[in-house]
Amino acid sequence: QAELGKPQRNCYTLPGFDFSYGLYIHRTDGGVPEAIGHWNTVKPRTAIVQKMPRDFITMNRGALKAGYTTAHEFNLYYKAKDIRCKDDKYNRFKKCPPKVPADFTYGITTRPCTPFFDLLQHRYKELWMEQQRALTRAQRVEKKKVTKGKVCETRTTFLRKHPPPAKEESFWHLPRLEKVGPHLSTFPDRDARKKAFSA
């Protein structure tokens, strides 16, 4: 029963001070004496052989070379020669290491030292100015060559070479009479009408 005048205790009693919490694992290897006295080697794991899918491209090529054309013959060929895809994805020996010389040094080459003397003397600005001057001179020489060999074309010479098309003279008509056909036909037949209009 609960103690009189005190709240009810709803917890467990803890073990003593000599109790160790957690999971105790007993040693199974024997420690250092067992390791010194015996040679317990780890057995290698057997690799799980994965069944690769069928290589239908190679089998179809072989069936066509053999002269098979129907689906039944193809199925018989598949049963006779079951060719599987090569496992190149998981093949560790597919790519061989690259051949490098004996004195090859791995890593990134160090950056060359900054030429502070050129920076203090504004050497880069002078080089850039020289390049711009050389470019301007070359452009001037090219422009002179173009202007010497080419004759300037004016509006008159252009119109002589390419005359504008002649304007077709159009007479003004009433809008309500634009699409009205003829009421009378004075020609005996269509051929005579075409002949008269062509003349």
The model's pLDDT over 91-143, given as tens digits with 9 standing for 90+, comes to 555 566 778 888 888 888 888 888 888 888 888 899 999 999 999 999 999 88
Count of beta carbons in the 10 Å neighbourhood of residue 63? 20
Q: Which of 148, 146, 127, 149 is nearest to 138 (CA)?
A: 146
The verdict on pTM exceeding 0.75 is no
Q: What is the pLDDT of residues 33-45, one digit of tens each?
A: 777 776 767 777 7
Going from N- to C-terminal start, the domains of the chain cover: 56-87, 116-161
What pLDDT does 27 receive? 65
Query: Among 25-39, 86-100, 165-179, which range has the highest average pLDDT?
Result: 165-179
